[in-house]
Structure 1
Amino acid sequence: MEPPPDEINIITLNCWGLKYISKLRRERLTEIGRQLTLAKPQPHIVALQECFTQEDYQSIRRQTRSILPHGKFYHSAALGGGLAILSRWPIEESTMRPYPLNGRPTAFWRGDWYVGKGVACARIRYGPAAKQVVEVFNTHTHSPYEAGKPGDSYLCHRTAQSWEMAKLLRGAAERGHLVLAVGDFNMTPMSLQHQLISSLAPVRDVWRVLHPDSSVGPAHHPAEKARSRPVPTAEFNILENGAASDGPTNTWRWTKAQQKQLGRGKSPVAVSPDTLDLRGKRLDYIFAGSGDISALGGGWVVKRASVGMMMRHPELGCSLSDHFAVEATLAFHPFQLPATTPLLPNKDNNPDPLPSHLKEVTNGTYLHSPSPSSTHLPPSPPSPTVQLTSFLPRSNPPSPPEEGLPATTYTTILNLIETYTARERFELRWRGHHFFLSLLTTTACLVAIWFPPHHYVGFILLLVSTLGLATGVVNGLLALLFFRSELKALREFEWEVRNASGTLGVGTEGGDGEEW
């Protein structure tokens, strides 16, 4: 086996490869494969999301085989999760872990439940030593269809999914492996979901390591507006804020009239870097750990983070996806632990998980204290030694109810669970009642068929009974199979949160809640 590398280059990209829906899918994903082979620095690990078809995956594999000879396409649910991992080094082990809360089959027009979203896990060996292993966790969480709206019914899904990701990362880190969590997380920086991962697992958002003062959402987001910063330009949002989604330089965010200017044989359409960017934001992330510092004689630190794959299709003139890629380079930094491991003085001096200059607000988002933009000086990124030191144990550890997250954050999560549980209990009862009502209606219609004065009345009654029974059976099956299982998953989630917060008490350990 080749000697272990000094650097690991990572790329994560949402390919927008939905079959029958994504425009110019084959042409774009073929070009994505070609551009991966030309990328500088050359990638060692590539994570893809929304690569739904074997045709597209094989096309990318054929083109990247010379630099990324190992790969895995992950299968899940009826339509597949669209996740794939490519690697320079062998994949020793892989698993597809579905999320316990993962959308609703009743929202069939959204499709999240049907693709079986989850975490694609791969254990990759980059060196011969026992701990020279990287565990990659690639995901595409539930889409935020109702984000920002009162009663967002999918907020509980994304929160539970971040919780599950943090559990997987903790387990891998406890094995002493380098941990990478990559993908489209459908969350904004420093949001509740972001904090669950960065606070409950020993990983770091690589972008915020190098850009600790970057934005916490698009310009119109309440959390970002509270920072009193000017509206960023397209260039600033890419270079400083890492906004790989929804920016004006991505042609798939243009109006239909603007997109008509693109195509074969047409002149390229440029976007000024000074264009104000109101919507650009971060949804795609790379979270990284350090590896076992003691066993490796050092650890992995963040050297580079950037937005990539911004080039246009050479013939079509369009962007290669509706997201840009997020790229990062991790460098190995020797670090000798002294005989007595120095502990960090306190939590406030530790850059992660909750820096001292971050303030908690009631909605679970953490913000930088606002400062006038004219006098604002962005903080310098931490040195490699500081990055590794922050992974060491702290002195004066907090008591269990405060460890990792503030107590109010656990309360926020429990409130989300309670609200969503009430919604699903109502849905279960309503659909169960509809099933029994359809049985009564069908029976009544079949009896009434014997007494109609005209034949067409009998036909109408038969049609109504058939349709009524069909919809009733569907709702009955949903109540029996889906809503019951989802309520049990919510009970599990609630138990884990209460257990982690230290509030688990009598009467919260058993039972399945109200059921019909």
Structure 2
Amino acid sequence: MEEVPTEISIITLNCWGLKYISKLRRERLAEIGHQIAIADPQPHIVALQECWTQEDYRSIRRQTRFILPYGKFYHSGAFGGGLAILSLWPIEESTVFPYSLNGRPTAFWRGDWFVGKGVAHAKIRYGSGPKHIVEVFNTHTHAPYEHGPNDSYICHRTAQSWEMSKLLRGASDRGHLVLALGDFNMLPMSLEHRIITANAPVRDTWRVLHPDSSVGPADHPSERARRRPIPTAEFNIHENGAASDGPYNTWRWTKAQQKLLGPGKPEVIVAPDTIDQRGKRLDYIFAGCGDVATLGGGWVVRRVSVGMMMRHPDLRCSLSDHFAMEATLVFHPIESPGTGHPADKLPVRMTATTRFGPDSDTIMDDKEDKALHNGTYLQSPVPSECRGSKSLDSQLMAALREQDPLPGAAYDEILAMISKYVARERSQRRWRARHFFASVAVSVACFVAVWFSPGNYVAFILMLLSSLGLVAGTIDGLLALLFFKSELRALKEFQWQITNAKAAAGGDAVSVPDNTDDNQGW
């Protein structure tokens, strides 16, 4: 084993590599592998999401094998979870933890249930000491297909955050450095976000260095309540970490704008002062600090940035529909009282796609241009020396302080969410069970009617209707018996855990009794 490192550089990226669906998949993922191989600083750990095929994974591995010789492609579900972890150091153990609530097989066009989403775990040894271990948890949670109060999958993502937080807490209790990486499909400071940071000893690395960053896109109610000016594209990248849905990403452009891209065409540059109302942060790097008592210090955040913003050199498109999140952790030894270190002053990192000139093509409509000249939104990032970044000492002390627990209102919100979702699933289960019995009755009626029908096409139609109806009813019956029953039991388990955690947070050391049974609404 080589000398114990004092820095760990991390990249997490949703590759948008859905087979048959994602455009230009092979070319883009091959370039992603190339960019990881030449990244500066050189990454030590990389987490990939939506890398669905072995072909794409091997393509990335071929290009990164010299800087990241160890890797694991994770298998789950009917079509695979799309998760992979690459590492400079040996992977001693790996596990896949499937989520107990993970979409519905009836929503087959969405696919979340079929890919078996969960948490990919890798235990990586970076040194010879007993605590020189980093446990990496890579995930891609359920996608939010609706927004606001109509989000039918918010209960799923809340349960997934809860399960992730328990995994992180367990790894931290073992005295290991903990990293949670991936596309969490949640907004900063949302309930799902607060569950992770309150229930596990980890920090959102972006908010460590950017504590005043946005809590959603400009038009989100939580962000509007902050009464901040609408940001520009550049500000959203450097200050808010908005790696999704921003104007820099060509896959978020209109079809007319995308037609300007392609082999042999000039690069189209997005002006940095373009208004950005949709950009948001869905991708995260959560990090613990390790066993400070044993190691004589802890891991703190030196750098965070949005990365992989370059475009494909030939196709001129963005490499994915997400940009990467990058961070560098540095080991900070415990100093005697009164010493301390100054905060790092890192320059804003510019990329090729953010440079522009007076003769460059830009993408900005009249509304955006008017907003720019009226000064109604933020036009440039706050200078790096004014960001309020914590010093390494204060970071470590803050990480070691006892975490603020979830308030009782948050537990009540989760319990109300579970009750609402249980009522919905019970209604669906009853409807599908009734459909099954109705289809059986209709099928029997059709068979009886065949006896009295003339020997022509009428009998054929009756048999066809009987067969199709019985197949559809049987499928609904199996769903009612198997899927909805198992999901209701998972919800019952989730409810007990939240109720018990609420009681413990209120000072009750005794676990709450499990008084619910199948005759009480489950």
User: Matched residues, percent identical?
Assistant: 69
Greater CA drift, 124-133 or 403-412: 403-412
Q: CA deviation at 1:508?
A: 4.0
Partner residue, 1:160: 159
**CA deviation vs aligned residue, 1:420-478 (integer Å, no higher than 9, x gap):** 01111111111111111111111111111000135211111101100010001100111
1:437 and 2:445 are equivalent in the alignment: no
Classify the secondary structure of the residue corresponding to 1:4: coil
Partner residue, 2:426: 425
Partner residue, 1:50: 50
Partner residue, 2:417: 416
Q: CA deviation at 1:57?
A: 0.1
Change (3 A) 1:506 1:75: closer
Q: What pairs with 1:172-211 in structure 2 (closer than 5 Å)?
A: 172-211=171-210
Letter in 2 for 1:381: S
Partner residue, 1:292: 291
Distance of 2:43 and 2:283 partners within structure 1 = 17
Is the Cα–Cα contact under 8 Å of residues 228 and 373 in structure 1 kept in the other structure? no
Length-normalised TM-score, structure 1:
0.89
Letter in 2 for 1:29: L
Distance of 1:387 and 1:192 partners within structure 2 = 24
Letter in 2 for 1:42: Q
Distance of 1:232 and 1:23 partners within structure 2 = 29
Classify the secondary structure of the residue corresponding to 2:399: coil
Partner residue, 1:469: 470
Q: CA deviation at 1:512?
A: 3.3
Classify the secondary structure of the residue corresponding to 2:433: helix
**CA deviation vs aligned residue, 1:117-151 (integer Å, no higher than 9, x gap):** 00000000001000010000000000000122x33
Distance of 1:217 and 1:179 partners within structure 2 = 26
Is the Cα–Cα contact under 8 Å of residues 76 and 115 in structure 1 kept in the other structure? yes
Partner residue, 1:80: 80
Q: CA deviation at 1:392?
A: 2.7
1:111 and 2:111 are equivalent in the alignment: yes
Q: Unpaired runs of 5+ in structure 1?
A: 339-371, 398-402
Classify the secondary structure of the residue corresponding to 1:114: coil
Classify the secondary structure of the residue corresponding to 1:468: helix
Length-normalised TM-score, structure 2:
0.88
Classify the secondary structure of the residue corresponding to 2:113: helix
Classify the secondary structure of the residue corresponding to 1:304: strand
Greater CA drift, 139-148 or 48-57: 139-148
Partner residue, 1:8: 8
Distance of 1:467 and 1:210 partners within structure 2 = 59
Letter in 1 for 2:170: G
Partner residue, 1:387: 395
Greater CA drift, 119-128 or 494-503: 494-503
Q: What pairs with 1:293-332 in structure 2 (closer than 5 Å)?
A: 293-332=292-331
Q: CA deviation at 1:393?
A: 4.7
Distance of 1:332 and 1:482 partners within structure 2 = 47
Is the Cα–Cα contact under 8 Å of residues 290 and 300 in structure 1 kept in the other structure? yes
Change (3 A) 1:448 1:272: same
Q: CA deviation at 1:391?
A: 2.9
Is the Cα–Cα contact under 8 Å of residues 425 and 514 in structure 1 kept in the other structure? no
Distance of 1:176 and 1:201 partners within structure 2 = 13
Distance of 1:17 and 1:318 partners within structure 2 = 14
**CA deviation vs aligned residue, 1:402-427 (integer Å, no higher than 9, x gap):** x6100000000000000001111111
Letter in 2 for 1:479: A
Partner residue, 2:121: 121
Distance of 1:379 and 1:46 partners within structure 2 = 27
Classify the secondary structure of the residue corresponding to 2:114: helix
Is the Cα–Cα contact under 8 Å of residues 439 and 472 in structure 1 kept in the other structure? yes
Is the Cα–Cα contact under 8 Å of residues 205 and 304 in structure 2 kept in the other structure? yes
Change (3 A) 1:506 1:68: closer
Is the Cα–Cα contact under 8 Å of residues 102 and 113 in structure 2 kept in the other structure? yes
Distance of 2:144 and 2:518 partners within structure 1 = 28
1:246 and 2:245 are equivalent in the alignment: yes
Letter in 2 for 1:384: L
Distance of 2:405 and 2:100 partners within structure 1 = 23
Q: CA deviation at 1:382?
A: 1.5
Partner residue, 2:264: 265
Classify the secondary structure of the residue corresponding to 1:391: helix
Q: CA deviation at 1:505?
A: 8.2
Distance of 2:269 and 2:282 partners within structure 1 = 24
Q: Unpaired runs of 5+ in structure 2?
A: 338-376, 505-509
Letter in 2 for 1:206: T
Distance of 1:249 and 1:336 partners within structure 2 = 42
Distance of 2:333 and 2:378 partners within structure 1 = 38
Q: State the number of aligned residues.
A: 474
Letter in 1 for 2:474: V
Partner residue, 1:97: 97
Partner residue, 1:344: none
Change (3 A) 1:393 1:189: closer
Change (3 A) 1:223 1:66: same
Partner residue, 1:368: none
Greater CA drift, 299-308 or 439-448: 439-448
Letter in 2 for 1:238: I
Q: CA deviation at 1:180?
A: 0.2
Partner residue, 1:347: none
Letter in 2 for 1:499: N
Letter in 2 for 1:6: T
Q: CA deviation at 1:510?
A: 4.1
Letter in 2 for 1:512: D
Distance of 1:237 and 1:164 partners within structure 2 = 30
Classify the secondary structure of the residue corresponding to 1:312: coil
Classify the secondary structure of the residue corresponding to 1:93: strand
Distance of 2:73 and 2:378 partners within structure 1 = 46
Distance of 1:309 and 1:174 partners within structure 2 = 34
Distance of 2:463 and 2:30 partners within structure 1 = 53
Distance of 2:336 and 2:492 partners within structure 1 = 42
Partner residue, 1:406: 407
Is the Cα–Cα contact under 8 Å of residues 249 and 271 in structure 1 kept in the other structure? yes
